Each structure stands twice: as C-alpha cells, then as structure tokens.
Structure 1
Amino acid sequence: MAGLRERKKQQTRTHISDVATGLFLERGFDAVTVAEVAEAADVSVNTVYNYFPAKEDLFLDREEEVVERPSERVRSRAPGESAPEAVLRGLRTDIEERQPWAGLGEGYERFVSVAFSAPTLTARLIHMMYRTQQRLAETLAEEAGDPAGDHRAEFIAGQLMAVQGAVYRTAGQCALDAWSVEETARLMLEKLALAETLLSPEVRDYARRPVAG
C-alpha cells in the first residue's frame, strides 16, 4: 500500500506541475495565481501548497535533480576517469542526446522567456546555480579526500559550473534567436570543446578514480 500511495502522490504532484507550467507558458508566471492553478488542476489551494511550498516550485519542480546532477556524475565516474572529466562528459552526452534539461527540447524558447521575465524566477535560477556549485564542491572534496582548509574543490567546482553555465546560456540565446535544435547543439558542443582546452591539466586530472589492479 505504501508504494501505491507514493505513486499516487507523485502522479498528483506531476499533474499539478504540468497544469501550472502550461498556464505559465501561456500567460506568463506573474499573471497566473496559485488559486488559478488549483482550479485548473481540480485540487484545493492547500493541496498545491502541500506539494509546492512556493509558487516558483511549480515551474522549477525538478530543482533537486538539477542541483544533484553534476555531483552524481562525479560519484559514478568510471575507473581512470577524473571528476571534471565525468562532469564534462555528462554535459557532452546531454547535448548529443538532445536532452530537454540542456535546453534542447522543442519550445524551449517559451521556457526561457517565462523564466527571465519574472524576477522571482530569475532569482531562483541564480540560487539553483549557487546550490549546484556548492554541492559539487562538497562532492569533489569528499571524492578527492581533500583535507580541511584545502580550497581546490571550491575553485574547481566554480570553473566547471562556469563552463556548464556558458553552455546552457548558449542554448537559451539560440532558442530566443529561433535557431534549430541541431544548430544549437552544434554550437554548444563547439563551445564545450573550447572550454575543455582552457582548463589546466591540474583541473582536468583532479580526483581521478584509480583503475583496479
């Protein structure tokens, strides 16, 4: 029964978020109230807030996945692969596979327009980037076994997230300029390849996982 309850809760959460996102994309974030979302989703306002404590959570409902993704790539890196290589490889794979979270889904220009037309959403996106970088720095330090007071993980995380941020901004600008997904992906890969050449050998080799045997 617990499994069924959890599935139903997740279905309700997804339904509310999907309805809200549709309204935001149609009318803009600030023009839609939580009460209107509740009515359209056929739930109470209290139910909406039970699943989404803040209105911004309705639009950015996968924040935790975004924050955790680079760290998860570090933790699951292959033998012989360094932590930065794992992060950049994951980003390259996302682009090659045209993943929507990399800004390569059809209609992404509407998401960008809504996100950057609402100050509270823009602020939330900036905070998400900060959290992602902080989480990655912690993971890097743990995986490398850095002693307390060693700040390399902090600065390496900053460099990696600067690369990711620049590549993602390219997707957003291309979407607003009405580029095709294929054209956008090609430019993103070019920029990513260039960024990799600008990282120092010490950064690229950081926290390399030993090869067994």
Structure 2
Amino acid sequence: MTEEMGRRERKKLATRRALVDAAVELFTEQGFDGTTVAQIAERADVSTRTFFLHFPTKEDVLAGEGDARVELGLRAIAEQVPGEGPDEAFARAMRTMIDDSRPEESELGRLRNRIAQEAPTVRTNILRRRHEAEELFADALHERFRDELDELGAKATVAAVMAATYAAAITSINHGASQAALQDAMHRAIEIGMWGRRRDR
C-alpha cells in the first residue's frame, strides 16, 4: 500500500512538473495573456480536467511546487527537535524549503517576476499565496511553542523572515543569479530577518 501510494505521488508530481514546464514554454513563446489553460494541457499531453486537478487557475501554475513546499515547511515546524526554540525551528523550516527547490525554479521565478510586472492577476495571486503561507506558518509555530510565543510573536517572526527571503529571491532573480547563488542569498536573508545579521555558526 505504501509503495502504491509512493507511485501515485510520483506520478502526480511528474504531471505537475510537466504542466509547469509546458506553461513556462508557452508563456515565453506567446505571453501570459495569449496562453490558455487548454494550450498548457495540450502541450503537457494531459486533459484540461487534469490541469484543474493540479492548479485552480492559470496564475497558480507560476507558483510551481509552492504548495508542496509549504507542506514541507509545516512538517518541519511540527518536527520535535530537542532544545530548539521557535526562532530556530522556523529558521530550520525555511532552510528545508529553500534547499528543496529545483534548478528549474530559478527560471520559473524570473518568468513569474517578469509577468507580475505586466499582469495584475499574477501580482494579486503572488500576494494572496504569500499571505496564506504566512498565516499557516504562524499558526503552526504558535501551536508548537504556545508556552513561549504568543500569536503576535509568531506572526511577526514569520512575516519578518519571509519578507527578507522574498527580497533576497527577487534581488537575486533580477541580477540573473544561479540557483546556488539564489539559495545562498535566501539563507543569508533568514539570518537577517530573524536576528538582524548573519550569525557566526
């Protein structure tokens, strides 16, 4: 049963990646507004219905594997690490998510950033998804460290670190940074967002 579930999950992930890759190709070739969901599905060799099983809207394709990465971060926050406080737990969760990204995602990030300058619906979707992720992370952090961190403290911690890593990602993308350089910048941003500077480790 576990093995079968693993196969299903791998197939689901492969389909999502095929849809993202197809969307990137089409958005690059004919623009965001000029591309339809049906065209993305056809390029990925799946049905339009299958597209909507993976992504609610065309805008959501630009998020890539963002939902899966949020789930990864939530699992990391919930993990019980002896002696770990809320700051360390969230920093570890962010590092886990950053290190999980694929090299192709830097290309997707550049495309998403460019399209967001032209398409209001994409900008709105980015902000919505970021807000939803912040809420989920703050709730998870507060739940695990309820005796040490109140609701405001959890929200402030998450907002500061996510704002710093987002700024690092956008700056790196705008400078054409490699995936490795982008990840390094985001790691540094965690330290800045959490503690105000990069700590010696």
Q: Structure 1 length as normaliser, TM-score?
A: 0.69
Cα deviation, residue 83, structure 1: 2.3
Does the Cα contact within 8 Å between 2:142 and 2:151 map onto a contact in 1?
A: yes
Match of 2:193 among 192, 195, 202: 195
- Aligned with 2:84: secondary structure? coil
Does the Cα contact within 8 Å between 1:25 and 1:114 map onto a contact in 2?
A: no
- Aligned with 2:56: secondary structure? coil
Residue by residue, what CA displacement relative to the aligned partner does 1:113-169 show, whole Å, maximum 9, x if unpaired? Answer: 2344322122111111111121122212321346xxx98224323332322222222
RMSD: 3.7
* Aligned residue type for 1:123: T
Residue of structure 2 in register with 1:121 after alignment = 122
- Counting only pairs closer than 5 Å after superposition, residues 60-209 of structure 1 correspond to structure 2 as 60-92=63-95, 97=99, 99-100=100-101, 105=106, 108-145=109-146, 152-181=150-179, 184-185=182-183, 187-198=185-196
How many residues were matched structurally? 194
- Aligned with 1:60: secondary structure? coil
**Separation in 1, partners of 2:105, 2:9:** 29
Work out the percentage of aligned pairs sharing the same amino acid. Answer: 28
**Separation in 2, partners of 1:159, 1:15:** 35
**Separation in 2, partners of 1:103, 1:119:** 24
Q: Structure 2 length as normaliser, TM-score?
A: 0.73
Q: Which runs of 5+ in 2 are unaligned?
A: none
Residue of structure 2 in register with 1:6 after alignment = 8
Cα deviation, residue 21, structure 1: 2.9
Structure 1 residue 55 and structure 2 residue 58: aligned? Answer: yes
Higher RCO (C-alpha 8 Å, min separation 6): 1
Cα deviation, residue 32, structure 1: 0.8
Computing the radius of gyration from Cα coordinates, the structure with the larger value is 1
Does the Cα contact within 8 Å between 1:112 and 1:172 map onto a contact in 2?
A: yes
Match of 1:46 among 49, 73, 83: 49
**Separation in 1, partners of 2:156, 2:104:** 21
Does the Cα contact within 8 Å between 2:169 and 2:182 map onto a contact in 1?
A: yes
- Aligned with 2:91: secondary structure? helix
- Aligned with 1:100: secondary structure? coil
